[in-house]
A and B are shown apart, each in its own frame.
Chain A
Amino acid sequence: MLVEFDLIRRAQKGDSAAFNEIVLAYRKRILGTITRLIARPEDVEDVAQEVFVRLYFSLDQLRTAEVFEPWLHRLTTNAAYDYLRKQRRRQEFRMSDLSEQQVVMADAVAGGRVEHDEQHNKKIRESVDSLLGAVSEADRILLLQKEVEGLSLKELEKIYKVNENALKVRLFRARQRVLKAFAVQQGTAPVKTGQ
């Protein structure tokens, strides 16, 4: 826990200063999680703010301060999920946006303004983003929480309130789909003979 239980209880009672302290304590962690979940640096702050606004309005629903962290993680997951769903609806718009970004990036590379590391990181982000296109937004978030955030099944169980076996099955299926897309991307997918 990054904050004392007492601080959460004070925030629940409407203490604005206590709420500010909670935001200050958790904002970096939330920004990090959202960065990895949505892979769009330009929108990370906006989604993180949405998480804290939801936190403010739902603090009174938190039964005990002890479950604050999984609960905040659930709010983060839901906000990222809502964002990704909206993104899918705006996909066409984004595609044109992306190509514009690529043009800018190409110009920047030609001008030698972007360092090699940043190019490499961007390539990795795009590659993973593209692979995760093989699964639904919900599975994308679940898989990233397990594989990238490093959450255990027990932690995921607390966040999703779903039993461990159901999570295992869902994770396995999502991973298999991503693995298949990865094999296609890498050119190691088995060739179908049509028999």
Chain B
Amino acid sequence: MNSIHGNDEERLNALFRAYRDACPVPEPSANFMPDIWARIEARQSITFSLRRMASAFVTAAVALSIAMSVYLALPHSNPNYYQQTYIEALADANPLETPDIVGPAKLDISDPGR
């Protein structure tokens, strides 16, 4: 069996050698070089379009970021609003002079007989 296997090895090598000879190298056609340049130019135009689109997108993103930064950096109309504590804000919203809708219950302890 080994001899058969060894024989196959040799025959396969011979087949590969024959294969090399059986593949004649074709002559390049007259359009070989012009076709290469046509392909290069086609790809360059695609790449160029993509680059322009990407560049426009980046410019728009940068402009938007700057606009948002400027907006956030602008002073707010009531800058102290969030600097108050909750109690202070509550006190401001309900000053003592403001009458309550339902007045607080008052306990009169001056007349102990009642």
Residues of A in contact with B (beta carbons under 8 Å apart): 20, 23-24, 27-28, 31-32, 35-36, 39, 41, 44-45, 48-50, 52-53, 56-57, 120-122, 124-125, 127-128, 131, 147-148, 175, 178-179, 182-183, 186, 188, 190
Given contacts A20-B33, A45-B29, A127-B15, 16 further A-B contacts (CB under 8 A): A27-B28, A35-B24, A36-B23, A39-B23, A56-B36, A57-B40, A124-B18, A128-B16, A147-B13, A148-B20, A175-B12, A178-B12, A179-B12, A182-B12, A183-B8, A186-B11
User: Which of A45, A53, A147 is in CB contact (< 8 Å) with B40?
Assistant: A53
Q: CA separation between A131 and B33, bound complex, in Å?
A: 34
Which residues of chain B have C-beta atoms less than 8 A from A190's C-beta?
A: 1
Question: How many residues on chain B are close to A (CB under 8 Å)?
Answer: 29
B64 to chain A, nearest CB (A): 33
Chain B: CB-nearest residue to A178: B12
Chain B, interface SS category: helix
Which residues of chain B have C-beta atoms less than 8 A from A50's C-beta?
A: 39
Which residues of chain A have C-beta atoms less than 8 A from B9's C-beta?
A: 179
B47 to chain A, nearest CB (A): 8
Which residues of chain A have C-beta atoms less than 8 A from B24's C-beta?
A: 35, 121
